């Protein structure tokens, strides 16, 4: 288990993270989310031992993880970190980049491992291609394969698909996170893309204002977000007064409603005037204005002309399961 207790870090006089405590179990995938500058990348570097932390403790099983004052070379055999710069050998082939981290004394096992990694990262056609001839996305896949070569117990990923073409990302996500589960590798992944998170992560940690704003199982956090900020990291979300949705409501509180949770009506519900329609392939996302003047996003199967007045409803089940804020 990875144990983080009361971890704090500052860049000079600028505090970045304060008093963070959490645990990660063997084989668990913990996603770390938050807006740019919230400390996601900094947290990964601290966990790897690449930055000095002012207070707290980090430990993986029996291994204490300390900063560069105590350990000149960060990390170790049990923990690997893939940053947004890949640090590959540019004039070596893809296979040679992987082979460097495997045993030369066991050629059969090494070749089998290289083949497995090339298949996982969809790199078989590039086995004998020099890395400097590859695109940025292809190099990122090589870097992913390389950090997996020696079967680490903990893998730290910082935006692991940021350079990879959208059409290839879904397959790679399934391959990578499925591979990590099969090998029982703990993964802590910093990402701003909920497609990296919702289908795969066991839990989500949301960072904001130097602290952990939320840390819960993925489905629970999505279904019952406590803050609009959290919901907006995971989809198109709105903050809507309950009494506008249900006129008989006895409270003036607001609830969070995702755009896909609205249902349109011609006669009753929350009045909205349509301003823009956006085509998303499988659906349309509509932007409208409520009578209060506040904007709202909702999804429909068909486009709606600008200026049309419609009514939106939300199921009682959705209203009941959302914690008012």
DSSP state string for 264-314:
EESSSSEEEEEEEEEE-SSSEEEEEEETTS-EEEEEESS---TT-EEEEE-
Distance between first and last Cα of the chain: 34
Question: At 118, which helix (H) or strand (E)?
Answer: helix 107-120
- Total domains, the chain: 2
pLDDT tens by residue, 142-163: 999 988 888 899 999 999 888 8
Q: What's the CATH code of the domain at 270?
A: 2.40.50.140
Residue 303 domain-assigned (yes or no): yes
Pair 195, 245 in one domain: no
Residue 324: pLDDT band (50, 70, 90) is low
Residue 310: pLDDT band (50, 70, 90) is very high
- Asked whether the predicted pLDDT for residue 72 surpasses 90, the reply is no
Taking residue 32's Cβ as centre, other Cβ atoms within 10 Å add up to 28
Report the sign of the C-alpha dihedral through residues 35, 48, 142, 171, in that order. negative
Phi, psi torsion values for 16, nearest 5 degrees: -105, -45
- Look at residue 109 in the predicted model and tell me its pLDDT: 87
Residue 216 domain-assigned (yes or no): yes
Best-predicted range by mean pLDDT (71-75, 140-144, 203-207, 247-251): 203-207
Q: Which two tokens stand for residue 244?
A: 């506008």
Residue 189 domain-assigned (yes or no): yes
Residue 231 domain-assigned (yes or no): no
- Compute the average pLDDT of residues 28-52: 94
Residue the block writes with tokens 């668990």: 28
Question: At 30, which helix (H) or strand (E)?
Answer: strand 29-33
Q: Which residues span the domain enclosing 181?
A: 2-226
Pair 51, 146 in one domain: yes
- Look at residue 220 in the predicted model and tell me its pLDDT: 96
pLDDT tens by residue, 169-201: 999 999 999 999 999 999 999 999 999 999 999
Q: Note whether 207 and 19 are within 8 A (CB).
A: no
Q: Note whether 316 and 269 are within 8 A (CB).
A: no
- Compute the average pLDDT of residues 281-296: 95
Distances in whole angstroms, Cα of residue 293 to Cα of each of 78, 229, 244, 290, 306: 55, 21, 13, 5, 16
Residue where a domain terminates, one of 199, 226, 253: 226
Residue 86: pLDDT band (50, 70, 90) is confident
Which of 199, 121, 132, 110 shows the shortest CA–CA distance to 160? 121
Q: Which two tokens stand for residue 195?
A: 């497609």
- Look at residue 268 in the predicted model and tell me its pLDDT: 86
Residue 247: pLDDT band (50, 70, 90) is low
Percent of the chain's residues with pLDDT above 70: 96
Q: Which two tokens stand for residue 125?
A: 């056609």
- Look at residue 68 in the predicted model and tell me its pLDDT: 82
Distance between CA atoms of residues 256 and 228, nearest Å: 6
Pair 127, 41 in one domain: yes
Pair 162, 247 in one domain: no
pLDDT tens by residue, 262-283: 999 878 889 999 999 999 999 9
Q: What's the CATH code of the domain at 149?
A: 3.40.50.300
Distance between CA atoms of residues 263 and 265, nearest Å: 7
Q: Note whether 154 and 115 are within 8 A (CB).
A: no
- Asked whether the predicted pLDDT for residue 325 surpasses 60, the reply is no
Pair 149, 211 in one domain: yes
Which of 188, 195, 179 shows the shortest CA–CA distance to 45? 188
DSSP state string for 134-175:
S-HHHHHHHHHHHHHTT--SEEEEESTTTTS-HHHHHHHHHH
Pair 65, 192 in one domain: yes
pLDDT tens by residue, 226-236: 999 999 999 99
Distance between CA atoms of residues 266 and 125, nearest Å: 55
- Look at residue 12 in the predicted model and tell me its pLDDT: 83
Distances in whole angstroms, Cα of residue 20 to Cα of each of 23, 216, 305: 10, 15, 49
């Amino acid at each position: 288990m990875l144990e983080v207790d009361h971890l704090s870090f500052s860049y000079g006089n600028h505090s970045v993270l304060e008093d963070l405590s959490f645990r990660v179990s063997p084989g668990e995938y913990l996603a770390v989310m938050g807006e740019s500058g919230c400390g996601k990348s900094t947290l990964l570097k601290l966990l790897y031992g690449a930055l000095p932390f002012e207070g707290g403790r980090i430990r993986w099983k029996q291994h204490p993880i300390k900063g560069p004052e105590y350990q000149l070379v960060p990390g170790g055999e049990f923990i690997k970190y893939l940053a947004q710069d890949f640090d590959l050998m540019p004039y070596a082939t893809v296979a040679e980049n992987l082979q460097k981290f495997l045993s030369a004394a066991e050629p059969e096992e090494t070749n089998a491992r290289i083949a497995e990694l090339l298949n996982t990262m969809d790199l078989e056609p590039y086995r004998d291609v020099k890395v400097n001839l590859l695109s940025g996305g292809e190099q990122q896949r090589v870097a992913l394969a390389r950090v997996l070569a020696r079967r680490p117990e903990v893998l730290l990923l910082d935006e692991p698909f940021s350079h990879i073409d959208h059409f290839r990302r879904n397959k790679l996500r399934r391959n990578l996170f499925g591979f990590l589960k099969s090998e029982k590798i703990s993964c802590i992944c910093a990402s701003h893309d909920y497609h990296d998170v919702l289908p795969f992560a066991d839990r989500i940690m949301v960072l904001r204002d130097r602290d952990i704003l939320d840390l819960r199982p993925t489905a629970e956090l999505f279904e019952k977000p406590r803050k609009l900020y959290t919901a907006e990291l995971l989809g198109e979300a709105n903050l809507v007064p309950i009494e506008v949705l249900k006129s008989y409501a006895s409270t003036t509180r607001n609830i969070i409603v995702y755009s896909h949770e609205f249902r349109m009506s011609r006669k009753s519900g929350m009045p909205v005037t349509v301003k823009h329609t956006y085509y998303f392939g499988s659906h349309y996302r509509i932007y409208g204005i409520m009578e209060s003047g506040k904007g709202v996003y909702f999804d429909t199967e068909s486009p709606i002309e600008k200026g049309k007045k419609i009514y939106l409803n939300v199921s009682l089940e959705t209203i009941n399961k959302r914690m008012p804020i």
